[in-house]
Structure 1
Amino acid sequence: MEQGHRQVGARCGQHSLLLRQDLDGALCQGGGGRVIAKAAPWKKDRVSELAEILSGDGIVGIVDISGVPAGNMLDMRSSLRDQMTMTVAKKTLIKLAWEQAGRSEVELEQLFEGAAQPCVVHSESLNAFELFAELEKTRQGRVAKEGELAPVDIVVEKGPTEFGPGPIVGEFNAVGIPAKIDRGKVAIQRTVTVVNEGEAITGDLGIMLAKLGITPIEIGLILTGAIEGGFVFPASSLKLDFEGFRNDVMTATSGAFNLACNTRWFSTATVPALLSKASSEAMAVAIEAGVVNDETASMLVARASARALAIAGQLDSSALEGADAAASDAADLDAGAEAPPEEEEEEEE
């Protein structure tokens, strides 16, 4: 059949006919040797539906849904229904719709990279980065099946399990997971890498990993790329470190504020800080200059007291006693200076 199709394509000399063979299914021979493609109605409807979506406003992306079980797919689509539409179709149908919408085939080929089973997503409420973030939330693990390749090193950690004594101990050991009975429970004796990245997972190992709650095969709606405003965004350019980005913005904002304050750039954001800084500097100058007013008096007294205590702390006891004696003598002299006038008055009497 395939060879016959190639012969028909060579005879007609039209590449588009070959493309539509995949769309329409079987070919039929018309009168006069004409070859007419017999279209499947549902395929035409799907192409028209896709072309209408691709011709509208908003963002368009391609998602790889390979490996996603039907049940999981329904749940994912249900959770995203309010934010985007998802249309599953073969690559051939998507190409035809893309062509009808007047979009660049080169852009489509870029979006198809990495999409084994493509699905068209469309949203008028999200931008490319928001679309990527929402689709990333659908990532989840599932049980490994016979022959599937490990996406990363699969490690079983040391520690107790929820299983009681029984044949399961031997089942764990049979697949390379060292287990024993410890305090009435099955425990993993040591941390072990049971499968290295890229190696095939056996069926028995997948079952035992599932019993431990290890689901190594990641599934989800994986965005391979999106087109917004005429620009193609590969998925790699849409993955942002939001926490790091937030920290960078905070650091930049703080640096800009400090620079504005240091250069005395007046704005609604910097005026309160600049006034506070000016007030503090004016107070410091007044204290150093010994300017006494209602605001500085208490600070000057406190500073004088602190300095006096500091000096007193550096003197020995004899010096302090001498200071006390000098103070006492000074007091006696003051008293004696006031006494003579009283004696003279007595002599006169």
Structure 2
Amino acid sequence: MVKKENKAVFFERLLGLFDNYERMLIVSADNVGSKQLQGLRKAFRKNSEMIMGKNTMIRKVLRDNMEEKPELESLLEHIEGNIGFIFTKADATDIRELLRTHVVPAAAKAGTFAQCDVNIPPGPTGMDPSMTSFFQALNIPTKISRGQIEIQHEVALLKEGQKVGSSEVALLQKLSIRPFSYGLGLVQIYEKGNVFSPKVLDIKDEDMIESIKAVLGNVQGLSIGADYPTQLSEPYHIANVKSALEDIAAISLEIGYPTETSVPHSIKNGLEDIISISLEIDYTPKEAETIKEMLANPEAFAAAAAPAAAAAPAAEASAAEAEKPAEEEEEEDDDMGFSLFD
């Protein structure tokens, strides 16, 4: 009974967080201890809330509410592994920096995978000569110097992604090396129904400017303003300008930011939606009258279109005949009024 009540509380809380926040960060929580999580919760108290739970329970909340909130479906494919949610009203970049400040160094654990390359530096180890066989078993060249074991040269112990074995763990512990660090890692960002990679947080204004320049390509003399290019000051190729403005319109439509290049497309798309809706209902706007008449009486429109269709090949033939070069008349011998036999 208590277990069911706890589940109901979790479902209600998670759904309430989706109602109260537009931005949510999915974080990985591998090897993160409870004390570390407690410190993060305290840091998030001002403008964020963190919730952890079983993936099966999270998926159930999402599926049960997708009818009312269809945008939740985009999250389902990302609910895997040891993850948690951070709902926040702060900027995602600030939350990422906060997560980085709560990363703690950690010793290697057998069975885990190396987060990075691990190299053992050369030099004295502080261990007595009785441990020489231990280093020999790991194929690490050593020598005895001043009563202690000394590693002769740098040793590549682990590669990033390699599974950590018990021997590597034992060596790192003996050398007091803690090569890894653990903390909440940012996996995905969910905002207003969209899910995107945290890599977008690394995009700077300068990168955006360079991207816009790349879109414009070889167009010369375009002055880049806040919204789109507005002036042409040097010779340009009209095809390049047309292509650039089409790209800008496409970007504006995708991000939902209207510009003078995208507004005509938005109006056209809206008009098409209105016509599509009117075909399903009794109301008929002026713009949809012709289309409805065509659907209601297609034979009449086919008959009206037939003469025009028949006239098209004839017009093309006439045009082709007009373009055909006139045949040269046969030249007649002109005696200019004289005769060789007079």
Q: TM-score, normalised by structure 2?
A: 0.51
Higher helix fraction (1 or 2): 1
Aligned equivalent of 1:144 = 108
**What is the 5 A alignment of 1:1-349?**
40-98=4-62, 99-100=64-65, 102=69, 104-109=71-76, 111-112=78-79, 115-124=80-89, 126-161=90-125, 163-238=126-201, 240=202
Distance 1:74 1:57, change over 3 A: closer
Q: Aligned to 1:167, what secondary structure does the other structure show?
A: helix
Letter in 1 for 2:21: D
Alpha-carbon distance in structure 2 between the residues aligned to 1:220 and 1:173: 35
Alpha-carbon distance in structure 2 between the residues aligned to 1:218 and 1:104: 34
Letter in 2 for 1:139: V
Contact 2:110 2:164 survives alignment (8 Å)? yes
Letter in 1 for 2:85: V
Distance 1:214 1:39, change over 3 A: closer
Letter in 1 for 2:81: A
Distance 1:150 1:116, change over 3 A: same
Distance 1:103 1:220, change over 3 A: farther
Distance 1:188 1:248, change over 3 A: farther
Distance 1:160 1:171, change over 3 A: same
Pairwise CA distance, 1:128: 1.8
Contact 2:129 2:148 survives alignment (8 Å)? no
Q: Aligned to 1:40, what secondary structure does the other structure show?
A: helix
Pairwise CA distance, 1:51: 0.8
Alpha-carbon distance in structure 1 between the residues aligned to 2:194 and 2:136: 54
Identity of aligned residues (%): 24
Pairwise CA distance, 1:46: 0.5
Q: Provide, for residues 223-270 of structure 1, a one-character-per-residue CA deviation record: whole Å limited to 9, x for no partner.
A: 2112234443312323x28xxx59989xxxxxxxxxxxxxxxxxxxxx
Contact 2:23 2:88 survives alignment (8 Å)? yes
Pairwise CA distance, 1:206: 0.5
Q: Which runs of 5+ in 1 are unaligned?
A: 1-23, 25-37, 250-349
Q: Provide, for residues 179-231 of structure 1, a one-character-per-residue CA deviation record: whole Å limited to 9, x for no partner.
A: 33334544221111123344332213212113334334442211211223444
Alpha-carbon distance in structure 2 between the residues aligned to 1:73 and 1:67: 11
Letter in 2 for 1:105: L
Q: Aligned to 1:104, what secondary structure does the other structure show?
A: helix
Contact 2:116 2:180 survives alignment (8 Å)? no
Pairwise CA distance, 1:83: 4.9
Superposed CA RMSD in Å reads 3.3
Alpha-carbon distance in structure 2 between the residues aligned to 1:187 and 1:127: 50
Letter in 2 for 1:89: G
Pairwise CA distance, 1:55: 0.6
Alpha-carbon distance in structure 2 between the residues aligned to 1:84 and 1:96: 23
Greater radius of gyration (CA): 1
Contact 2:140 2:155 survives alignment (8 Å)? yes
Pairwise CA distance, 1:40: 1.2
Letter in 1 for 2:69: G
Instruction: State the aligned residue count.
Output: 206
Q: Aligned to 1:134, what secondary structure does the other structure show?
A: helix
Distance 1:39 1:75, change over 3 A: closer
Distance 1:95 1:198, change over 3 A: closer
Distance 1:83 1:186, change over 3 A: farther
